[in-house]
């Protein structure tokens, strides 16, 4: 059975989902920048996404246990980001580790990356529409 969408489209879809999660985490950090004792959270999904896309050509590897990371094709739905306390944050007098300026710049970067992924998906769908309508 052939798939309608290729690996790139699946990767872009997974990236959009992760960007949405990252947007929520950054927004939470910004909302709590004056909360005493709040520790900023960080999300890294690029490595998990690269494993799922199989950029290193490890397609012949398989996960033998449910706790193992997904590898190779068909594992886009299993991509999970790593969410943890940001170790780069400096602790303020009230115990808060949110750097508001850094969070705002990360928010802007994340928005740009989300918009770029949306544009790429739109281009892929436009090419499918073009092919389906025989170029009309």
Question: How many domains does the structure of the chain reveal?
Answer: 1
List, for residues 25-42, the tens digit of each pLDDT value: 999 999 999 999 999 999
Q: Is residue 1 part of a domain?
A: no
Q: Is residue 61 part of a domain?
A: yes
Instruction: Provide the pLDDT for residue 45.
Output: 72
Q: What residues are paired with 84 via a beta bridge? A: 42
Q: For residue 59, give its domain range.
A: 7-132
> With 0-12 CB in 10 A as exposed, 13-18 as middle and 19+ as buried, what is 26?
buried
Q: Is residue 2 part of a domain?
A: no
* Average pLDDT over all residues of the chain: 80
The string of DSSP codes covering 28-82 is: HHHHTTTSTT---EEEE-HHHHHHHHTTT--TT----STTSPP-STT-GGG---E
| pLDDT of residue 65 exceeding 80 | no
Q: What residues are paired with 83 via a beta bridge? A: 43
CA-atom Rg of the chain in angstroms: 19
Which of 9-18, 70-79, 102-111 reaches the highest mean pLDDT? Answer: 102-111
| pLDDT of residue 72 exceeding 70 | no
Q: Is residue 91 part of a domain?
A: yes
């Amino acid at each position: 059975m052939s798939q309608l969408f290729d690996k790139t489209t699946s990767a872009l879809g997974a990236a959009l989902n992760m960007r949405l999660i990252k947007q929520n985490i950054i927004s939470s950090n910004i909302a709590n920048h004056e909360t005493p004792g709040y520790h900023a959270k960080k999300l890294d999904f690029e490595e998990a996404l690269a494993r799922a896309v199989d950029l290193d050509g490890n397609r012949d590897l398989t996960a033998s246990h449910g706790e193992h990371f997904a590898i190779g094709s068909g594992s886009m739905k299993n991509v999970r980001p790593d969410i943890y306390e940001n170790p780069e944050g400096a602790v303020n007098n009230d115990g808060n580790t949110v750097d508001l300026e850094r969070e705002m710049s990360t928010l802007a970067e994340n928005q740009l990356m989300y918009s770029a992924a949306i544009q790429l998906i739109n281009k892929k769908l436009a090419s499918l529409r073009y092919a389906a309508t025989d170029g009309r």
